[in-house]
């Protein structure tokens, strides 16, 4: 994660480190697995559950891609409530939120932290593969592949132009 250099919570201000070169990570960067593993630590109190994040992202989906997303939303809510080993999640992990910090390696920025299923953080990484099944297989070395496939299915509405969508929930 990007380092906080100073904070003034009363003013809602943070001074964050600068990242050089600060370019988004490439989908084939081997450091992505390290970032994903490093983010998923035991949860601490005070972070919302993944189910709240699911409700938020489906609100975004409905604004971006109007249509009937009720079944996918209901299935995602079920996945979020499943009893899995919950970890702290980034909550908005995509290639624009993982930056190259030069010698420091890849750094995740702009989290929307929540607590839940670590496989949910890998959806964008799996969809980066031209063949979604290959993407799921690749990331199943880092997170539970069956869970990742389920998350990819319910979030398919965010990737309407992907050539190999698993299906719809």
Does this model's pTM top 0.75? My answer is: yes
Token representation of residue 87: 């970890």
- Residue 114 falls inside a structural domain: yes
pLDDT of residue 165: 56
**Total of domains in the chain:** 1
Q: In angstroms, rounded to a whole number, what is the distance separating the alpha carbons of residues 132 and 46?
A: 34
Q: In angstroms, rounded to a whole number, what is the distance separating the alpha carbons of residues 52 and 88?
A: 14
Token representation of residue 164: 């190999």
pLDDT of residue 4: 83
Residue 80: which CATH number?
Answer: 3.90.1200
pLDDT of residue 18: 84
- Closest by alpha carbon to 137, among 148, 124, 153? 148
Domain that holds residue 111: 4-158
* Residue-by-residue DSSP string for 96-114: GGEEE-GGG-EEE-S---E
- Residue 16 falls inside a structural domain: yes
Q: Which residue has the tokens 């190259």?
A: 100
- Residue 121 falls inside a structural domain: yes
**Mean pLDDT (10-residue bins), the chain, 169 residues:** 82 82 92 94 92 97 92 97 94 94 92 95 96 96 97 93 62
| Residues 135-156 as b or e (16 or more Cβ within 10 Å = b) | bbebbbebbbbebbbbbbbbbb
- Residue 164 falls inside a structural domain: no
Range list of H helices, the chain:
31-39, 50-64, 70-81, 123-127, 132-139, 145-154
- Residue 163 falls inside a structural domain: no
User: How far, in Å, are 47, 87, 108, 163 from residue 12 at the CA level?
Assistant: 18, 26, 20, 42
- Residue 166 falls inside a structural domain: no
């Amino acid at each position: 994660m990007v380092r906080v250099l100073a904070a003034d919570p009363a003013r809602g201000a943070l001074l964050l480190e600068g990242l050089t070169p600060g370019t988004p990570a490439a989908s084939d960067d081997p450091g992505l697995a390290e970032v994903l593993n490093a983010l998923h630590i035991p949860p601490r109190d005070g972070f919302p559950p993944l189910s709240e994040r699911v409700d938020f992202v489906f609100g975004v989906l409905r604004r971006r891609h109007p249509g009937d997303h009720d079944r996918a939303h209901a299935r995602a809510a079920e996945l979020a409530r499943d009893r899995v080993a919950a970890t702290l999640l980034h909550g908005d992990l995509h290639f624009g939120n993982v930056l190259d910090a030069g010698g420091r390696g890849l750094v995740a920025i702009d989290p929307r932290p929540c607590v839940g299923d670590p496989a949910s953080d890998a959806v964008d990484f799996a969809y980066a593969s031209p063949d979604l099944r290959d993407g799921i297989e690749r990331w199943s070395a880092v997170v539970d592949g069956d869970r990742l496939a389920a998350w990819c299915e319910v979030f398919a509405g965010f990737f309407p132009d992907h050539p190999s969508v698993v299906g719809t929930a």
